[in-house]
Structure 1
Amino acid sequence: MKRNKSDLLDLTQPEQCCDATTGCDFDGSLRNVVTEPIYVQKVYDAALFNLQGLRTIAGQGFRPRLPVGSRILRVIDIRCKKFFNPADIKDPKNLTVTPETEISGADFVKCGDKDVKVIGPDGTRSERLVFVDTTDCDEEDRGTPIFGTQNIKITGNVIVEIDILYTDDCGERCRATLTANVPVAPINDPLILTNFFQLCLPSVFEGAFLPRFTEFCNIACETRLATQNITRDLMVNPETGAVRGNLLVSLCVTCEKKIVVPVQLCVLSTGFPQLAAEIAPICETFPSLFPRQIDESNEKHGCALGQEDLDPID
């Protein structure tokens, strides 16, 4: 029987989602768990804040246009997500959150007239050095409080999608998704949210590093029709089919502030991650990505010192 060439093709649709592989495995036994020293940043104090702002949008245009003579019967669903242009990180339409913070009870360390910023875990200069005389609270083995005011500036656009059920001029019911790129906070008219906070500072004298202040935020959005009435909030031009809508957009912001200090910690570890190569190997051996442990307790490689190594030579 002659096989059709199309039978050899894999016509399975690729999955749209995936599961990650970390390379970390723990069999539940503590025999393979060892202590490891790591050099990281320790969080000495942190505060979390949830803020929200509202924007009303009037006469926003949506795409696509509906057939001439259409009438919207029902809104099935309405969704909102932040806009981001991966081709231009400085696109003014990108929905961004910019925190501006002032503190009292302490000072940001400066070089000239600029704050000294150091590299944070995100790989950017996102941490500022903080100094205050902590002598009084050091004597009580407690932290020194500092206070701050934060103004959060929001600029950019959101994407709004509305699933509707409409009827055309022939009376047939159809479904459609209306989409709009909505400017909720232009650069010349940003949305400003303000909050106040208190953080606890460790000693500036008992460590090799000054404490660091860092903050980061994330933003999401929710939207609905301005008056929750289809007739008033969604208008269809009977001649062109163009759709315009009135919206109420909620901007939901989560911000966290931390006081961190570089430290060396001892942690329990099961070793380095081990990933299986996804390409059939041709080479017999491949180089490692991390060096082997070299501490004196590692007897596996014959580098540990036994008692006989410590005996004096006659």
Structure 2
Amino acid sequence: MEKDKQLSVETMQIDEPCCIANTGCVFDGNLSNVVGECIFVDKVYDSVTFNLQGIQPVSKAPFGTLPTKKCGPKSRITRVLDIRVRKAFNPNNINDPKNLTITPKTTLSGAQFVLDERGKPVVVPGPAGLLQFLIFTDTTECDQEGLGTPIFGSQEICVSGTVIIEIDVEFITALGVTETATLRGRAAVNQTLTNFFELCMPSVFDSAFLPQFTEFCNISFLGRLATQSITRDINFNPATGEIFINLILALCITCEKKIKVPVQLCVLSTGFCEQEARVRPICGDQFPPLFPPQVSEPFVNGDTDPC
């Protein structure tokens, strides 16, 4: 009985459908606990953000069927309540061709990507595994002015894959009763958008590191009936319940491009992020720490203390 009781505590059933994240950062307002730290990170030297848009027509996309027992000569779809569109993603296969992907293809002018002996761009890993490309140009002229060197580029953004579409509709059954239903379907997306940009590049000579170029994009979709007419855009078979719909999808894309350089920064710190661990009866408070203690006293030359 005691064992079953302990198990019920460990499983800790979640009653809430959503949650609030805990960063593990706590500051009590005492400035004496704030110390200077030196961190080695990538700094954004210059960046630009773009909003791009495109149109994807969807013709006669299948959206399943309404229940046949509710269909008949008098049944029909009378109203579209909402249209929702989201990216398709298969977590069991990241390379699934049906996954929606955004692939930027960038060409630089006034600078070049650094290549290896096989002619392939040299990349370094960035946050979340994001690839960062080393770039190079002769920055001597602007270095003498103490300024950055402008570079330009053109880009093709290829969007391909599948989107999942949900449409809430009102329909009249064979008995004349008005009901609601959610129709679900998929549609292929294949669009290429073009873009031009300008960035400012730091010196390649007054640094131990070459600048890094990186870019990333995100996309959302807005859906509507192709001609905003239920009669023309929704093909409903009252005998079988089959539904085919014509749609227009608006592609709303946000892209950001950055030039980054490794730097050392002095920051004010209140300490390490620490989570309060759940206590276990055997070890108690004898668990080892994950990080060394915060150093709150600066080193003083000539101090006889060996630590």
* TM-score, normalised relative to structure 2: 0.89
- AA paired with 2:85? C
- Please state whether the residue corresponding to 2:127 is helix, strand or coil: coil
- Please state whether the residue corresponding to 1:138 is helix, strand or coil: helix
- Please state whether the residue corresponding to 2:298 is helix, strand or coil: coil
Q: Deviation of residue 281 (structure 1)?
A: 4.4
Contact 2:33 2:296 in 1 (8 A): no
Matched with 2:125 is 119
Contact 2:67 2:241 in 1 (8 A): yes
Q: Deviation of residue 19 (structure 1)?
A: 0.5
Write out per-residue CA displacement over residues 18-46 of structure 1, whole angstroms, 9 at most, x where no aligned residue.
Answer: 00011001223322111100010000000
Contact 2:65 2:240 in 1 (8 A): no
Matched with 2:252 is 252
Contact 1:296 1:305 in 2 (8 A): no
Show the 5 A alignment for 1:147-226.
147-185=152-190, 191-226=191-226
Number of residue-to-residue matches in the alignment: 291
Q: Are residues 22 and 158 of structure 1, via their aligned partners in 2, closer, same or farther at CA, if it must alter by over 3 Å?
A: same
Contact 1:64 1:179 in 2 (8 A): no
Q: Are residues 235 and 103 of structure 1, via their aligned partners in 2, closer, same or farther at CA, if it must alter by over 3 Å?
A: same
CA distance in 1, matches of 2:150, 2:251: 31
Q: Once superposed, what is the RMSD of the aligned Cα atoms?
A: 2.2
- AA paired with 2:166? E
Contact 2:272 2:294 in 1 (8 A): no
Write out per-residue CA displacement over residues 77-130 of structure 1, whole angstroms, 9 at most, x where no aligned residue.
Answer: 111111111111011111110000000101111112111111112224x11111
> Percent sequence identity over matched residues?
55
Write out per-residue CA displacement over residues 5-63 of structure 1, whole angstroms, 9 at most, x where no aligned residue.
Answer: xxx9xxx9821110001100122332211110001000000000111111111111102
Write out per-residue CA displacement over residues 167-213 of structure 1, whole angstroms, 9 at most, x where no aligned residue.
Answer: 1111111110000011122xxxxx11000000000011111000010
Contact 2:40 2:262 in 1 (8 A): yes
Show the 5 A alignment for 1:120-139.
120-124=126-130, 126-139=131-144
List runs of 5+ in structure 2 lacking aligned partners: 1-7
- AA paired with 2:242? A
Indicate yes or no: 2:25 matched with 1:19.
no
Q: Are residues 308 and 183 of structure 1, via their aligned partners in 2, closer, same or farther at CA, if it must alter by over 3 Å?
A: closer
Matched with 1:267 is 267
Contact 1:226 1:247 in 2 (8 A): yes
Write out per-residue CA displacement over residues 235-279 of structure 1, whole angstroms, 9 at most, x where no aligned residue.
Answer: 211220101111000111111000001111101110001211135
Contact 2:236 2:242 in 1 (8 A): yes
CA distance in 1, matches of 2:36, 2:132: 29
Q: Are residues 28 and 14 of structure 1, via their aligned partners in 2, closer, same or farther at CA, if it must alter by over 3 Å?
A: same
Q: Deviation of residue 296 (structure 1)?
A: 6.7
Matched with 1:35 is 36
Matched with 2:4 is none
Matched with 1:291 is 292
Q: Deviation of residue 295 (structure 1)?
A: 8.4
List runs of 5+ in structure 1 lacking aligned partners: 1-7, 186-190, 299-303
CA distance in 2, matches of 1:79, 1:280: 46
- Please state whether the residue corresponding to 1:115 is helix, strand or coil: coil
Matched with 1:301 is none
